[in-house]
């Protein structure tokens, strides 16, 4: 798939995979918090292409792992990762409702779902006694790579094209999650912020990085031409504030959280 052939939902698996090893490290860090649950049931929310769903399935030694995603583009690869206890379902995390799940896992997905005060109790309802919840989400809103996108979205002509839409980060402060997990009945928990330092060839590579994630939220709302104009302004404004440093040190904060019900 070329950059021009975006899916209607904005996701471009190839663009997302461009920084694969950097993007995968938080997945492995999150997965290492999960205690294997031989014979259990696992759900991978916002599973993407499914390649990591299989890795999670092997780690947990579950009998069944269900990957859930709403993106038509991401589901193209599901067939090659399904089988041996792994299956996939198209669905929206915002409407997620299951029961008796031993591990609910969500890597880099629930930042797209609004209202975590509403979402978390529903995730908990799906858990079996002793079930585990593991979530990783970006917390990099204050970095120029994210702040610039919001600024450009408020400027003409983009504000009009976007109908006033500005991506609003649904992610709360790390302490909010710690308190929430305690209130929701998790007997054990681990909540941390981790800084991932990525060495990119130069500052222009930050644009390529963000095109594969944050900017997909804009891309799906405007025409190809409008998106090209948005991207031009974003690139110009971002590069005017980033240091001209090679390699470029792109620091990226993420929240990793894990809890086990009593
Ligand atoms: C950044 S990718 C992460 C994919 C995978 N978890 C990984 O670690 O590689 C985010 C995924 O979340 C999915 N997603 C975002 N919002 C969603 C929603 N409301 N319901 C279902 N999937 C969603 C996207 O379609 C995308 O595949």
Determine the distance separating the centroid of ligand 1 and the alpha carbon of 151, expressed in angstroms. 24
Residues 6+ away with beta carbon under 8 Å from 179: none
**CA gap 209, 171 in Å, rounded:** 20
Q: What is the 3-state secondary structure (H, E, C) of 178-219?
A: HHHHHHCCEEEEEEEEEEEEEEECCCHHHHHHHHCCCCHHHH
* Percentage of residues in the chain having pLDDT higher than 90: 88
pLDDT digits (tens, 9 = 90+) for 139-168: 999 999 999 999 999 999 999 999 999 998
State yes or no: pLDDT of 2 exceeds 60: no
Mutate to test the pocket of ligand 1, among 17, 27, 69 (most ligand atoms within 8 A of CB): 69
Determine the distance separating the centroid of ligand 1 and the alpha carbon of 108, expressed in angstroms. 7
Q: Which CATH superfamily includes the segment(s) 13-261?
A: Vaccinia Virus protein VP39 (3.40.50.150)
State yes or no: pLDDT of 239 exceeds 60: yes
With 0-12 CB in 10 A as exposed, 13-18 as middle and 19+ as buried, what is 141? Answer: middle
- Residue 14 pLDDT: 74
Q: Which residue has the higher pLDDT, 115 or 9?
A: 115
Mutate to test the pocket of ligand 1, among 24, 29, 48, 118 (most ligand atoms within 8 A of CB): 48
Pocket of ligand 1 (CB under 6 A): 11, 27, 46-48, 52, 69-71, 74, 92-94, 107-109, 112-113, 213
Tokens of 32: 């290492």
Which residue in 210, 245, 180 sits closest to 19, CA to CA?
210
pLDDT digits (tens, 9 = 90+) for 55-104: 999 999 999 999 999 999 999 999 999 999 999 999 999 999 999 999 99
Determine the distance separating the centroid of ligand 1 and the alpha carbon of 127, expressed in angstroms. 20
The residue nearest atom 11 of ligand 1, judged by CA position, is: 46
State yes or no: pLDDT of 5 exceeds 60: no
Angle formed at CA 67 by CA 61 and CA 73, multiple of 5 degrees: 140
Locus of tokens 């585990």: 132
pLDDT digits (tens, 9 = 90+) for 116-143: 999 999 999 999 999 999 999 999 999 9
* Average pLDDT over all residues of the chain: 93
pLDDT digits (tens, 9 = 90+) for 28-43: 999 999 999 999 999 9
Q: Which residue has the higher pLDDT, 213 or 67?
A: 67
What residue segments make up the domains of the chain, in order of their start? 13-261
């Amino acid at each position: 798939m070329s950059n021009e052939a975006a899916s209607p939902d904005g996701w471009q698996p190839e663009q997302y995979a461009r920084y694969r090893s950097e993007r995968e490290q938080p997945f492995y860090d999150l997965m290492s918090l999960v205690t294997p649950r031989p014979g259990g049931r696992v759900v991978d929310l916002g599973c993407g292409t499914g390649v990591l769903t299989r890795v999670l399935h092997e780690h947990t030694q579950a009998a069944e792992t269900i990957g859930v995603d709403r993106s038509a583009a991401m589901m193209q690869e599901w067939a090659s990762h399904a089988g041996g206890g792994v299956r996939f379902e198209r669905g929206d995390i915002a409407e997620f409702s299951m029961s008796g799940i031993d591990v609910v896992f969500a890597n880099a997905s629930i930042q797209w779902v609004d209202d975590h005060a509403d979402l978390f109790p529903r995730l908990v309802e799906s858990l079996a006694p002793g079930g585990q919840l593991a979530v990783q989400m970006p917390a990099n809103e204050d970095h120029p790579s994210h702040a610039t996108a919001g600024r450009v979205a408020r400027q003409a002509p983009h504000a009009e094209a976007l109908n006033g839409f500005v991506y609003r980060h649904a992610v709360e402060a790390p302490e909010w999650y710690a308190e929430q997990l305690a209130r929701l009945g998790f007997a054990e928990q681990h909540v941390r912020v981790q800084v991932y330092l990525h060495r990119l060839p130069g500052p222009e590579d930050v644009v390529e990085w963000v095109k594969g994630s944050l900017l997909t939220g804009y891309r799906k709302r405007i025409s190809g031409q409008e998106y090209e104009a948005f991207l031009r302004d974003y690139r110009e404004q971002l590069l005017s504030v980033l240091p001209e440093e090679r390699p470029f040190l792109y620091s990226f904060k993420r929240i990793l959280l894990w809890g086990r019900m009593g």
